[in-house]
């Protein structure tokens, strides 16, 4: 049933709670036309897309923006955080929303990992795929996870059972106040009010555990993706890999070429890890061109 209590919703968008795949997901929907599914990253919610939702709807799309399993206003599920299972969350969500036809799929960070799994598992349901600011498990993530080789420390910390919840409980806002500027290249884009909004959905042991659960499946996710590739899997649908100038850059596209040699690259000038919030207009321009192209979807040689 619609739930319009959220005053931050863009004009003419409504929020819904839908039971799918053994859990309850919160999703925001607006516009009319062919579907676009936007999947957020960590530690965010549907709000990460707030600057792009109305403009995409105005371009003639139905824009669907869920909170991933365990995040935002979705239920704090006890399990099921593998990216393949979350792809099934999305498949069932689209069915419950009576979405017909292949979707234009856009994913940032953890949401991009879910989007990759969705495209791998259900290629006939994806018209085009845009991935933003991530390293895909099995295709570059493992290197990004290795601090000895220049990767980030946080992967190992967040993947450790129980410890990050113990460390961050009671200090959630202080951590996020440090986290967002560290990964952003745009001073001030994450206002105190936005940090408050993020903190409110990740506060407490249960919410933190659900958030870190997205990380605790990453090794499994990588093995699953590599096994698919080793068996000859590849992505045939149009694919855009977007990096921020000051973070991922072209590395995402480079990592995907073994399974998607046709991948196109876009680098968002001046952006760090959060292009939807740091450089929303530049990202919108890239997505507008890519999503609006008359792609045949999907290519006939797409392999599950």
What's the predicted TM-score (pTM) here? 0.95
Question: For every one of its 304 residues, what pLDDT tens digit does the chain have, with 9 covering 90 and above?
Answer: 334 345 589 999 999 999 999 999 999 999 999 999 999 999 999 999 999 999 999 999 999 999 999 999 999 999 999 999 999 999 999 999 999 879 999 999 999 999 999 999 999 999 999 999 999 999 999 999 999 999 999 999 999 999 999 999 999 999 999 999 999 999 999 999 999 999 999 999 999 999 999 999 999 999 999 999 999 999 999 999 999 999 999 999 999 999 999 999 999 999 999 999 999 999 999 999 999 987 544 443 333 3
Task: Kindly report the CATH number assigned to the domain that includes residue 151.
Answer: 3.40.50.1820
The single residue listed with the structure tokens 């599914």 is 37
Instruction: Determine the Cα–Cα distance for residues 186 and 295; give it in Å rounded to an integer.
Output: 34
Domain that holds residue 149: 2-292
Q: How many domains does the chain have?
A: 1
pLDDT value of residue 295: 55
The CA radius of gyration of the chain, in Å to the nearest whole number, is: 18
Q: Is residue 298 part of a domain?
A: no
Instruction: Determine the Cα–Cα distance for residues 197 and 279; give it in Å rounded to an integer.
Output: 20
Q: Is residue 247 part of a domain?
A: yes
pLDDT value of residue 3: 41
pLDDT value of residue 300: 36
pLDDT value of residue 5: 40
Q: Is residue 240 part of a domain?
A: yes
Q: Is residue 210 part of a domain?
A: yes
pLDDT value of residue 4: 37
Q: Is residue 100 part of a domain?
A: yes
Q: Is residue 299 part of a domain?
A: no
Q: Is residue 77 part of a domain?
A: yes
Sign of dihedral through CA atoms 263, 111, 30, 95?
Answer: positive
pLDDT value of residue 6: 58
Which has the closest alpha carbon to 244: 288, 289, 185, 188? 185
Q: Is residue 303 part of a domain?
A: no
């Amino acid at each position: 049933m619609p739930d319009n209590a959220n005053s931050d919703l863009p004009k003419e968008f409504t929020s819904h709670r839908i039971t799918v795949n053994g859990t309850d997901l919160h999703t925001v929907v607006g516009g009319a036309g062919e579907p676009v599914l936007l999947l957020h990253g960590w530690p965010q919610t549907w709000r990460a897309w707030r600057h792009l939702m109305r403009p995409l709807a105005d371009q003639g799309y139905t824009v669907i923006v869920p909170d991933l399993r365990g995040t935002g206003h979705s239920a704090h599920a006890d399990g099921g955080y593998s990216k393949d299972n979350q792809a099934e969350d999305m498949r069932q969500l689209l069915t419950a929303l009576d979405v017909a036809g292949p979707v234009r799929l856009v994913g940032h960070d953890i949401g991009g990992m879910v989007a990759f799994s969705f495209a791998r598992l259900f290629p006939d349901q994806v018209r085009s795929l845009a991935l933003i600011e991530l390293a895909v498990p099995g295709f570059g993530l493992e290197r990004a996870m290795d601090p000895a080789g220049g990767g980030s420390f946080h992967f190992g910390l967040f993947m450790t059972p129980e410890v990050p919840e113990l460390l961050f409980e009671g200090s959630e806002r202080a951590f996020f106040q440090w986290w967002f500027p560290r990964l952003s290249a745009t001073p001030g884009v994450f206002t105190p009010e936005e940090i408050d909004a993020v903190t409110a959905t990740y506060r407490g042991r249960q919410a933190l555990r659900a958030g870190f659960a997205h990380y605790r499946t990453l090794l499994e996710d990588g093995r699953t993706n590599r096994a698919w590739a080793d068996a000859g899997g590849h992505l045939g649908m149009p694919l855009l890999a977007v990096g921020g100038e000051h973070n991922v850059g072209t590395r995402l596209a480079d990592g995907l070429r073994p399974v998607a040699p046709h991948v196109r690259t876009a680098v968002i000038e001046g952006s760090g890890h959060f292009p939807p919030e740091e450089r929303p207009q530049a990202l919108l321009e890239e997505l507008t061109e890519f999503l609006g192209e008359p792609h045949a979807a999907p290519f006939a040689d797409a392999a599950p």
